[in-house]
């Protein structure tokens, strides 16, 4: 490195991954599954019960997106939403 002192410590900063909202993830994955012709409800239930990401299409990065949110957070969002809608 021309002009750099090799004794200096370099500063490296990794960009922090954005925090995902479980509700937004569910809607995005639902849309991707629907676009690919799957029954989104059946596929999401399969994933939530088994934890197997093969239930989720990789279309529009849906599989990698859903894996970034804990399954219990997804279930919590579903239960909360259902109960608020059905009071």
What residues contact residue 72 under an 8 Å CB cut-off, 6+ apart? Answer: none
pLDDT of residue 14: 66
Owner of token pair 């939403």: 81
Q: Is residue 11 pLDDT above 80, yes or no? A: no
Whole-structure pTM value: 0.77
pLDDT confidence of residue 7: 79
Residue pLDDT, tens place only, 26-78: 999 999 999 999 999 999 999 999 999 999 999 999 999 999 999 999 999 99
pLDDT value of residue 20: 84
Residue 8 pLDDT level (bands cut at 50, 70, 90): confident
The ranges assigned to domains in the chain are 22-85
Separation of alpha carbons 78 and 11, rounded Å: 42
Predicted confidence at residue 3, as pLDDT, reads 56
């Amino acid at each position: 490195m021309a002009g750099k002192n090799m004794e200096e410590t370099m500063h490296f900063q990794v960009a922090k991954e954005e925090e995902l909202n479980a509700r937004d993830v569910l809607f995005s994955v639902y849309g991707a599954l629907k676009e690919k012709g799957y029954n989104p409800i059946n596929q999401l239930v399969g994933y939530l019960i088994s934890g197997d990401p093969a239930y989720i299409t990789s279309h529009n990065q849906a599989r990698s997106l859903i894996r970034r949110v804990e399954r219990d957070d997804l279930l919590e969002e579903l239960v909360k939403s259902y109960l608020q809608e059905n009071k």
